[in-house]
């Protein structure tokens, strides 16, 4: 089914069409929400809010960009609003398969002498990187997340952020430069 036809069906109230869209994008939307919220409950709430907004705004999509770009833009905007409201800046782990916080708490409750050194060192490195990413300006941080963790192209990021590709390349270069300045002294 074509994107335009799918959105027209959603606009007319076709539940099956919305279910198709939801199933196609739920994992990507949830993963992006999780990177901003850093906990499952908030990510689920944000994901639900994204799809609610998509459902209510389907008629306003003008087909000037890909459907996925529009969905990412809605997701990023809602996540940034969430971050502004809740002032939560302790997000984004290096490892995409990061255990839930409850599982991490279980590991951390084990006496340090019984923990493998590599686990402790990995957590310390992740915290250093997390703190460095959190300290980046918002425009650099969002561009970096979308490129590194969502694996989007520069042009896709530009479309999502409503910026030029050159601007996104500049943001990414500055983000990487700032990260190096902040991380390297701490890791040596």
In the chain, the largest separation of any two C-alpha atoms, in whole Å, equals 61
Instruction: For the chain, give the secondary structure using H, E and C.
Output: CCHHHHHHHHHCCCHHHHHHHHHHHHHHHHHHHHHHHCCHHHHHHHHHHHHHHHHHHHHHCCCCCCHHHHHHHHHHHHHHHHHHHHCCCCCCCCCCCCCCHHHHHHHHHCCHHHCCHHHHHHHHHHHHHHHHHHCCCHHHHHHHHHHHHCCCCHHHHHHHHCCCHHHHHHHHHHHHHHHHHHHHHHHC
Q: What is the dihedral of CA 95, 99, 105, 111, to 10 degrees?
A: -70
pLDDT tens per residue across all 188 residues of the chain: 688 888 889 989 899 999 999 999 999 999 999 888 878 899 999 999 999 999 999 888 888 888 999 999 999 999 988 887 775 444 444 444 344 333 443 444 444 444 556 667 777 777 777 778 878 898 998 999 898 888 889 999 999 999 999 999 999 999 989 988 888 777 65
Q: Domains, the chain, ranges and CATH? A: 1-89 (1.10.1740.10), 102-188 (1.10.10.10)
Q: Is this model's pTM higher than 0.75 or not?
A: no
């Amino acid at each position: 089914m074509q994107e335009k036809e799918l959105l027209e069906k959603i606009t007319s109230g076709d539940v099956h069409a919305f279910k198709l869209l939801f199933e196609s994008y739920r994992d990507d939307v949830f993963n992006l929400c999780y990177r901003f919220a850093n906990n499952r409950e908030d990510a689920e709430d944000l994901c639900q809010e994204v799809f609610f907004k998509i459902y209510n705004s389907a008629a306003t999509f003008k087909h000037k960009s890909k459907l996925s770009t529009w969905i990412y833009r809605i997701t990023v905007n809602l996540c940034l609003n969430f971050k502004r409201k809740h002032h939560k800046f302790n997000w984004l782990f290096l490892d995409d398969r990061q255990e839930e916080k409850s599982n991490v708490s279980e590991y951390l409750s084990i006496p340090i002498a019984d923990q493998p050194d590599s686990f402790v060192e990995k957590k310390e490195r992740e915290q250093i990187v997390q703190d460095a990413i959190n300290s980046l300006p918002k425009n650099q941080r969002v561009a970096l997340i979308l490129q590194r963790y969502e694996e989007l192209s520069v042009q896709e990021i530009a479309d999502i952020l409503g910026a030029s590709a050159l601007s996104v390349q500049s943001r990414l270069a500055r983000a990487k430069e700032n990260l190096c300045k902040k991380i390297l002294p701490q890791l040596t």
